[in-house]
Structure 1
Amino acid sequence: MQIELLDTFLDLIETRNFNKTAERLGVTQSTVSSRIRSLESILEKQLFIRNKSGTEPTVAGIRFADHAKAVKLRWLDARREIEAVGKFDRLIRIGIHFELYERVLEPWLEWVRNAIPKLAIYVEIDYSNQMILDLTTGGLDLAVLYSPQHLPDIHYEQIAEENFVMVSTSRLSMSEVRPSNYIRANYSPFFDRAHKQMLPELEISPISMGNGGAIAHLLRRKGGTAFVSQSVAAALQREGVVHLVQDAPTISQPIYSAVHIRYRHSHTHIRLLKALKPTTV
């Protein structure tokens, strides 16, 4: 199967528009149509329905989407591994949670370059649920995340904790924090439960977000009050953007490593995990 057929199919799943997909891929609309027809011929199933309201995937198209993503991922992995022949002994695919990569990535990769110079690293920044799915399908070899799902093929180990503190662009105490100017952070199910228990009066707020970078951006541009990680809080304080809400509680979020059980006793994976701990403590 030609890989451009999968590229075209996956792009059309996203855009639901033949013309937009043609523009994004730099081909003609007739080329997009031809590729989809070729894929439908190979699979012997109709993948899309075109009508006045637009383009929609069929049931077969929806079911094929996950398989297409997996095939595309394996193809990219194969290309990277072939390109690395002679340069590196092995490729390891690592997933790191969005809130952790600034804290983990630089010191850990520096250790890898010095300690295992023939190891190639591919890094994906993502959320916990997607990383766990990628571990089960083979898309990732190791992940650092907030929210484990206890699946039989995945081994977890708590390696550290991330502390989240409340900051505000005004000098406030807890008694002065109001839902109207509060950005409700939701970094993980664990964080969500802790917030509900500690601060039920702030559960209903006009804005709720799950990305620390986006929350920091809003604090810089619009102001307000929110929970951010200690490292983000320190950076915002250095910029003069926020102040700590001194009497607010701290929410401690466990950090986990995750590997597929087939790699649990791999010497390389064990070394990588041991090296991760100092960067996350």
Structure 2
Amino acid sequence: MDTELLKTFIEVQRTRHFGNAAENLYLTQSAVSFRIRQLEQYLGVNLFSRHRNNIQLTAAGERLLPHAEAMLNALQRAKQDVAVSAELAQPFSIAGTANVWDAFLLQGFVNSQHLFPNLCWRADSLGREQIVRQIQERGLDLAILYDAPKVDDIQVEKLGDIQLVPVSSNPGASVENWQKDHIYIDWGSSFNLQHSRLYSESVAIKHRTTSAKIALEMMLHSGGSAYLPKAMLQPHLAEQRLHLVAKAAMITKEVYAAFLPKAANLNHIIVITSHLKQLLQS
């Protein structure tokens, strides 16, 4: 199949407009329409429903979308890997969920680059399901995440623990009143269970985010409280812009490395995971 057909399909889906898709792809509108017809004929289904300029994906189009994106991403990775191989540089891909990068992985990644300066690196922030799929498809060498994947062909190794500390912009915050302006950060399923055991579900949570950095900026500029990792807090506690919440419990998060046991880059993985363990213990 011509990958240009898939690119055109994704662009029409993104813009929901044949004319805009044509402009973005530097094609005529008739060329875009022809490509979509070609793809529909190849698959034997209609991919878009068209009602008075309201272009929507059909059920078949919805099913095709993740496959089209995966195929184009895999092709792009293959091109990069082939180009890198031609230059005699070895590629290495690492990914983590957003809050793993926020909590400690960014520093660990920078240090790992210094350990292996001749590697050609790719670093991504991905969701847990994407991480598991890319490891299985050999599109990812190493993943760092909080909730360990329970998949038979993926090796999981515990790296250590991260302490999440309850802090507030209010110097007088206590365990009785700190949730009034709480920013709930999604630290994963184990955190959610611990948090629900510690605190009443009757307290309405006004703000939620999947990013510790977003929560931190909200607290510093608009006030609030949240659970944040120690590594992010030290300068703000020292400057008294944030304050520990009196008598509130810390929550421990386990951190895991995930990779294929017969990965091509296994030697590098072993060294990098060892370094990350030391970083978590320091």
Letter in 1 for 2:106: L
* Equivalent residue, structure 1, for 2:47: 47
Calculate the TM-score normalised by the size of structure 2. 0.86
Letter in 2 for 1:156: V
Rounded Cα–Cα distance in structure 1 between residues aligned with 2:255 and 2:92: 20
The answer (yes or no) to whether the contact 1:128–1:148 under 8 Å persists in 2 is: no
Shift of 1:207: 2.0
Rounded Cα–Cα distance in structure 2 between residues aligned with 1:31 and 1:247: 66
Task: Report percent identity of matched pairs.
Answer: 25
* Equivalent residue, structure 2, for 1:3: 3
Rounded Cα–Cα distance in structure 2 between residues aligned with 1:198 and 1:272: 35
Shift of 1:74: 1.4
* Equivalent residue, structure 1, for 2:162: 162
Shift of 1:110: 3.3
Rounded Cα–Cα distance in structure 2 between residues aligned with 1:124 and 1:210: 16
Letter in 2 for 1:230: K
The answer (yes or no) to whether the contact 2:16–2:55 under 8 Å persists in 1 is: yes
Rounded Cα–Cα distance in structure 2 between residues aligned with 1:184 and 1:78: 39
* Equivalent residue, structure 2, for 1:96: 96
Rounded Cα–Cα distance in structure 2 between residues aligned with 1:26 and 1:262: 44
Rounded Cα–Cα distance in structure 2 between residues aligned with 1:185 and 1:202: 17
Calculate the TM-score normalised by the size of structure 1. 0.87
Where in structure 2 are the equivalents of 1:134-173 lying within 5 Å?
134-171=134-171, 172-173=173-174
The answer (yes or no) to whether the contact 2:97–2:127 under 8 Å persists in 1 is: yes
Shift of 1:248: 1.3
Larger deviation, residues 69-78 vs 103-112: 103-112
* Equivalent residue, structure 2, for 1:234: 234
Rounded Cα–Cα distance in structure 1 between residues aligned with 2:238 and 2:127: 28
Shift of 1:27: 4.6
The answer (yes or no) to whether the contact 1:88–1:118 under 8 Å persists in 2 is: no
Letter in 1 for 2:248: A
Rounded Cα–Cα distance in structure 1 between residues aligned with 2:164 and 2:19: 45
* Equivalent residue, structure 2, for 1:175: 176
Compared CA separation, residues 129 and 263, structure 1 to 2 (3 A): same
Shift of 1:265: 9.1
Letter in 2 for 1:92: F
Compared CA separation, residues 32 and 212, structure 1 to 2 (3 A): farther
Shift of 1:72: 1.1
Deviations 1:151-198 (A, max 9, x none): 12222111011111111111111122243x222222200110010011
* Number of aligned residues: 279
Rounded Cα–Cα distance in structure 1 between residues aligned with 2:202 and 2:88: 51
Q: Give secondary structure in 1 for the equivalent of 2:99.
A: coil
Q: Give secondary structure in 2 for the equivalent of 1:100.
A: helix
* Equivalent residue, structure 1, for 2:35: 35
The answer (yes or no) to whether the contact 1:163–1:251 under 8 Å persists in 2 is: yes
Where in structure 2 are the equivalents of 1:1-281 lying within 5 Å?
1-22=1-22, 24-25=24-25, 27-52=27-52, 54-102=54-102, 103-114=104-115, 116-171=116-171, 172-179=173-180, 181-200=181-200, 204-237=204-237, 240-263=240-263, 266-281=266-281
